Structure 1
Amino acid sequence: MPKRLQKPRGMVLSVLGVITLAVAILSVAVTYDILAPWFGGWAVPTVGALDALWVVFQATEILAGNNKSRTRRVQYAGLALTLINAAVPTAHLILAAKGGAPLDLAVVITPIAVIATKGAWWMALPSLGRPVSDTTRQDLATKRQTVADRLEEMEAEAAHRIELLELATTLETRVAAAETKYRVSVLKAQQDMTQQLHGQAETTEKTIAEKPLPASVAAIRLPELEGWEPTAPALPGTAVTDRHAIGTQVSGLPLGNGTPDGTPAQRAARTAALADLAAVAGVPVPEPGEPLTDGQLDVVLRHLRYVDDPPQSYRQARDSFRDSGYVGSEARVRRAWSALMAKEKAGGTQVDRDGGAEQAEEEEPEDAGA
């Protein structure tokens, strides 16, 4: 096979050429049979000229390529010959149909084949273009591939953006619905709060009108941030008053004699109260048999002082201190007791006579170890 026929353009032209030649031969045979009774020997050159020119004009159109100014005349001439070649068998078919003569299949096919072949050339040639070299064809193919790749990328990007927009639309709709639901809930909560506050305000206003507060309630001073210090909760049912001011009370101690004796519940309550006092003072819980720091010693004495009602005296607290197994010299205990009494005086608490007298009278020598 010739090399030029191996190319796509050459293959298309070859196929169209073979078809054109076959149709021309068919047209010669059919037209000759039709014109021979009329023209006699002149039918041969007439038919040959018509079909030969028809084939030549098709070939000329191929050689002209896609130069429109060159192909226009041969296209029109080829179209005229196509109509003539198709008109002869068509007119014969019409006359035969009127005369009732049988129709020959070749006569029917010839005008259709001639017109179809011309139409094929008319559509195929503009798309084939000019013959080009292999290098140019490769360059064109590369460019076409580049364009095709870019078009595919653009289509993919468009598809991705459409998908993104659709997803964004869905998310925006969900977010808008969630925001709407949240705002509705906030408004509903505000509505409920307003209704409740309105009802409470009416009740409060009615209560204030019926039961006005005495002036002493408004005279109670509230604690200030800079001057407030945490204190242990007040003892229920104790006789010592104003212990919030000096920070010496213990919470919920069961009444007893201040000694380790008593029921297990009482001992557990005393241990818990001592732990609460140590937590308020910010020191470790004092343990019997271990040396005590000044802070722990103060916590133990406060605990022993107010474990009973009325509060214990110095001697009672000292004896309970020793009986409980706590370690501390007499001098340290006496100094801590004096500081405790000073706090009570500063807070306006009445000091029991036994405690004050014993503090003044105690002149025992200081013990050696803590």
Structure 2
Amino acid sequence: MRTKTALPAVAMTAVSMVLTLAVVVMWLGTAVPWRVALIVGLGIDGGWLATLAYERRLAAQGDHSRTVTAVGWSFGLIATGVLVAHALTAESSAGAWLAVAWLPVAAKALWLVHGLWERTALTPMALDAIQGIQQEARDEAAVARARLRAEAVTEETRLTAVTAAGARVARVQAQTAKALAGAWSTLETARQGEGTGRALTSVTSPVTDAVTARWALPVWGPSEPTRAPALEAAPALTDDALDALVDEIRHSEDPALSYREMATRFRSAGHSASEVRLRAAWKRVA
């Protein structure tokens, strides 16, 4: 690569020096001896070549001199000026000489480009390492993009499944609530009916030993839990005491309370008794 960038500059420099020498000899040969013209042309080309060689040596050492660079451009501009002046004073082929008058400046520009390439050139090993790093970065980026796309598809599938399951649960809950509301509505209608108690009493009277039971269906609504400290602190009641207490609570109002109302007041008062004993006492006093 170094040869590819240096060859054009070398070739254009050589052509520019030859043209400059030829123009100086032809232009000054009519006014001064050709040997003098040859010395002038060689002086211009020699100065240009010397400054170029010195500039190249400084570049090889990693150094740079603005003075040397300015002198080299000066010789290049002098050579260009000579070619332009010759083209303007030539009686024939002025256009052709003007067409090649830019070669010295172009040669200096090519050497500038070659110097920039040398300052930024890397070894093949470094280039291979850079290519490997870039390839690795591209591979990681591609893998990351594929992972993100897969995660996005997975999340979309999960959200779709969760949404469908939530919709099914909502439908089941709505159906259950509707069925439960209908059941409680039927139960409330039965509880409000005038013949419900009589019908249940007539059905159960053969097995209750002639004890008239007062029936009360459950009510849809909140309930208050019995306080645990009151239950723990309440003493155990004997059957006689329990019967007397149940009878007292039952007849605390007129008409007599139902079993459900009596049981609620019994436990609210802080008394403790199992459901079996309480029902047995109710049957005895009723």
TM superposition score normalised by structure 2: 0.55
Q: Take 1:188 and 1:107, find their aligned partners in 2: how far apart are those partners?
A: 93
Quickly say closer, same or farther: Cα 1:129–1:102, change in 2 above 3 A: closer
Candidates 164, 189, 192, aligned match of 2:172: 189
Distance 1:40 1:173 in 2: 94
- Name 2:70's counterpart in structure 1: 76
Q: Distance in 2 between matches of 1:188 and 1:30?
A: 102
Distance 2:170 2:32 in 1: 105
Whole-angstrom distance in 1 between the partners of 2:166 and 2:18? 88
Does the CA contact (< 8 Å) of 2:12 and 2:106 recur in 1? no
Please tell me whether residue 45 in structure 1 is matched to residue 63 in structure 2.
no
Q: CA RMSD in A?
A: 3.8
Maintained 8 Å contact 2:51/2:72 = yes
> Is contact 1:32–1:43 with CA below 8 Å preserved after alignment?
yes
Match for 2:114 among 114, 120, 124?
A: 124
- Between 1 and 2, higher relative CO (CA 8 Å, sep ≥ 6) is seen in 2
Question: What is the match of residue 281 of structure 1?
Answer: none
Whole-Å separation in 2 of the counterparts to 1:107 and 1:34: 15
Unaligned ranges ≥5, structure 1? 1-7, 131-136, 221-370
Shift in alpha-carbon separation, 1:156–1:148, aligned structure 2, 3 A:
same
Q: Which of 159, 163, 183 is residue 176 of structure 1 equivalent to? A: 159
Return the match for 1:160 from 143, 152, 157.
143
1:57 is aligned, of 51, 55, 65, to 51
Cα distance in 2 for residues equivalent to 1:33 and 1:39? 10
**Would the alpha carbon gap of residues 103 and 187 (structure 1) be closer, same or farther in structure 2, given more than 3 Å must change?**
farther
- Equivalence map 1:199-210=2 (5 Å): 199-210=182-193
Q: Read off the aligned partner of 1:109 and give its amino acid letter.
A: V
**Pick aligned residue for 1:107 from 89, 95, 98:** 98
Distance in 1 (alpha carbons) for counterparts of 2:101 and 2:56: 23
Q: 2:16 aligns to what?
A: 23
Task: Kindly state the Cα deviation for residue 34 of structure 1 after the two structures are TM-superposed.
Answer: 5.0
Cα distance in 1 between the residues matched to 2:139 and 2:111: 37
Q: Report which stretch shifted further, 174-183 or 158-167.
A: 174-183
Q: 1:88 to 1:180 in 2, by over 3 A?
A: farther
Shift of 1:144: 4.0
Q: Which one-letter code corresponds to 2:68 in the other structure? A: V
Contact 1:86 1:114 (C-alpha < 8 Å) held by counterparts: yes
TM-superposition CA deviations, 1:227-251 (whole Å, max 9, x none):
xxxxxxxxxxxxxxxxxxxxxxxxx
Q: Kindly provide the amino acid, as one letter, of the partner of residue 209 in structure 1.
A: Q
| TM value normalised by structure 1 | 0.44
Q: Is the 8 A contact 1:23 1:114 kept in 2?
A: yes
Provide the rounded CA distance (Å) in 1 between the counterparts of 2:33 and 2:179. Answer: 121
CA distance in 1, matches of 2:74, 2:101: 16
Q: What corresponds to 1:151 in structure 2?
A: 134
| Distance in 1 of aligned mates of 2:82 and 2:142 | 57
**Which residues of structure 2 form unaligned runs of 5+?**
208-286
The CA distance in 1 between the partners of 2:30 and 2:153, in whole Å, is 82
Give the percent of matched residue pairs that are identical in Structure 1 and Structure 2. Answer: 19
The one-letter amino acid paired with 1:160 is V
CA distance in structure 2 between the partners assigned to 1:40 and 1:200 by the alignment: 133
Corresponding residue pairs, total = 200
- Specify whether residues 209 and 9 from structure 1 end up closer, same or farther in structure 2 by C-alpha distance, changes over 3 A only: same
Structure ID, larger Rg: 1
C-alpha contact 1:90 1:108 (8 A) present in aligned 2: no
Distance (whole Å) between structure 1 residues aligned to residue 118 and residue 17 of structure 2: 23
